Structure 1
Amino acid sequence: MNIDQLKEYIRFYTLNKCPQGNQGFNRVLLQLFGYLGHGKSSLINSCKYVLQDRDTEFTMIAQSGAADGGLTMERKSYQLTQTITMVDNRGCSTLNGYETGEIYAQLGNFIPLDQKVEWTKEFEEMMNRLEGSDVEPTFTDIIVPIFVYSVKKDLTDAETQEIKTFLTNCRNITGIFPIIVLTNKTSGNFSKFRDLFEGMGAEEIFAVENFTEEDHFETRGRHLQFLNMMYKVLEDVNFKMQKKIDPKRERAKHKIFLLTFLHKRDQQKNVKENSVLNFKQVRVGNY
């Protein structure tokens, strides 16, 4: 499809046209994740821009941060079309169990949109939040995880393993392997990171140069970067919707996964704290 055909398909996409119909779903959430300052907010601005009419001026609907300090502190939604909403997120400093626990809760739709993101460390606190989400549960969103990474940054072996585990868990929750969007493609070694994420199991990897206030020069190729990414997202949704899906059962499976994850996280935390305590007691005894 050419640019105009891609844009029209995305703008007028509806879950009603899926093979099994909408099955009780009415919205596609493109949920962004990633480290601080890797271009999540700028990606939203870029996607919104390319879907608008060509004579529309570039505007920043999502406030983006510079360098390593992201500005987003909440899970904030931006409607792209009648069906598609893009969701910005607080950037992670590290993909440890505390930050990923919050993310998995978001992927299971247990955390409301447009609220401040808190890295919850206490098991009881997260359990209370889960119980609260059952008062008015949300069943009607198909969530597609999108992992945003800047090729200007390097990765340690430990970070690579953290990301691999994270991506696999995202797939297990949503049924869709996270789309990888590599930003700042002209400022780093794109092929290196493409190979790295392919090794983690990534199926769709896109390299983009986000539109910004300083640089929103339009070219055909630059528009296609974002349109092709959104088109592939919708193809993944269509593939998932070929099967019979019960939204309520889906949410129940998500909750089981999250409860298991939180329980293991709490056990590991207790083991670590007990080890530190025993070590301190031994040192005191030796003196």
Structure 2
Amino acid sequence: MEVDKLKEYITSYSLNNCVRGSQGYTRVLMQLFGFLGHGKSSLINSCKYVLGDKAYTPCAQAAPADGGLTMERRAYPLTDTITMVDNRGCSTMNSFEMGEVYAQLGNFLPLNEQVEWTKEYEDMICQLEDADVEPNFTDFIVPIFVYSARKDVADKEVEEMKTIFKNCRDLTGIYPIIVLTNKTSGNFSRLRDIFEGLGAEEILAVENYTEEDHVKTRGRHMQFLKLIHKVLEDVNFRMQEERNPRKERAERKKFLLKFVHNRDTKQ
């Protein structure tokens, strides 16, 4: 598709037009996760810029390359149906931080509120009980792992990522889409090979628009439109099956409780 056709498809997308209708879903949630300072916020700003008709205006506050500013789970609507979520990033992939990442991806933590890392099973139980007061089961979740091409993948992280990606698939039903940011500033080919070896099904490379560099080009626009289109293709594929949003939320909760219980038992 050309830029205008892709943009029109995305902005007019409705879950009601899926083969079986919306089946109780009201929104597609593009859930960004990954390490601190790898470009999640800048990716959101770029997607909003590409879909809008206005000058570049950063909505999500981006951090320096080695920083990371997002300490909350912040939602940014792209269209009436599609929302991107800037989840709090992790500094390491230890089991404590990943438990909190899974809680965010599973939609058990409220949007637009501070995210506090929990370290006890009881704390996670309290979070889940709070989430059950007003349970959110109408979001169709698509996980997106963001990694900067400026960084190298340490050997110990490879096996950790393999487990994490499998857990994300088990949690959401979709293997995470891999987005490599800063594609012209690092060894993209090596990273692509690593993530393919981990079983990644979709790997996209982007160069985020920034306040310093936001000159529109067709090729750069297509990077972000293709990402959103890939998300919608995953949604359409999964929505061909008969689905039960309430039951799927219950299964996500079981997964999270089992993960945290096993984690604390090992500790």
TM-score by length of 1: 0.92
Which has the larger displacement, 108-117 or 169-178? 108-117
Q: Deviations over 1:30-88 (max 9, x none)?
A: 010011110000000000000012xx211101000002111111000001000000001
Is 1:96 aligned to 2:94, yes or no?
A: yes
Instruction: Return the letter of the residue paired with 2:44.
Output: I
Amino acid at match of 1:196: I
Aligned twin of 1:284: none
- Superposed CA offset, 1:70-108 (max 9, x none): 111100000100000000122210111111111111222
Q: Which residue does 1:131 correspond to in 2?
A: 129
Q: Is the 2:178–2:203 contact (alpha carbons within 8 Å) kept by the matching residues of 1? A: yes
Counterpart for residue 45 of structure 1: 45
Question: Residue in 2 aligned with 1:17?
Answer: 17
Q: Is the 8 A contact 2:28 2:82 kept in 1?
A: yes
Determine the C-alpha separation between the residues in 2 that align with 1:34 and 1:262.
19
Amino acid at match of 1:124: E
Equivalent of 1:161, from 148, 159, 162? 159
Distance 1:266 1:68 in 2: 30
1:33 alignment partner in structure 2: 33
Q: Is the 8 A contact 2:87 2:104 kept in 1?
A: no
User: Any unmatched runs of 5+ in structure 2?
Assistant: none
Q: CA deviation at 1:198?
A: 0.6
Q: What do the CA deviations read for 1:158-204 (whole angstroms, capped 9, x no partner)?
A: 11111111111001111111010000000011111111101111111
Aligned partners of 1:130, 1:67: CA distance in 2, in Å?
A: 33
Task: Quote the offset at 1:135 in angstroms.
Answer: 1.4
Aligned residue runs from structure 1 range 272-287, under 5 A: none
Partner of 1:234: helix, strand, or coil? Answer: helix
Fraction of identical pairs, as percent: 67
Structure 1 unaligned blocks of 5 or more: 270-287
Q: 41-50 or 64-73: which moved more?
A: 64-73
Q: Pick one of 163, 174, 177 that aligns with 1:176.
A: 174
Q: 1:35-114 counterparts in 2 under 5 A?
A: 35-53=35-53, 56-114=54-112
Aligned twin of 2:211 = 213
Aligned to 2:226: 228
Q: How many residues align?
A: 267
Residue number among 144, 154, 158 corresponding to 2:142 in the alignment: 144
- Distance, in Å, in 2 between the alignment partners of 1:67 and 1:25 is 36
Q: Which position in structure 2 is the counterpart of 1:195?
A: 193
Alpha-carbon RMSD: 0.8
- The SS at the match of 2:146 is strand
Partner Cα distance (1:201, 1:28) in 2: 24
Give the Cα–Cα distance (whole angstroms) in 2 for the partners of residues 16 and 153 of structure 1.
40
State the 4+ residue runs in structure 1 displaced beyond 2 angstroms: none
Q: Deviations over 1:218-240 (max 9, x none)?
A: 11100000001110110000001
Q: For residues 22 and 122 of structure 1, what CA distance do their matches in structure 2 show?
A: 37
Query: Scaled by the length of structure 2, what TM-score is found?
Result: 0.98
Q: CA deviation at 1:4?
A: 0.2
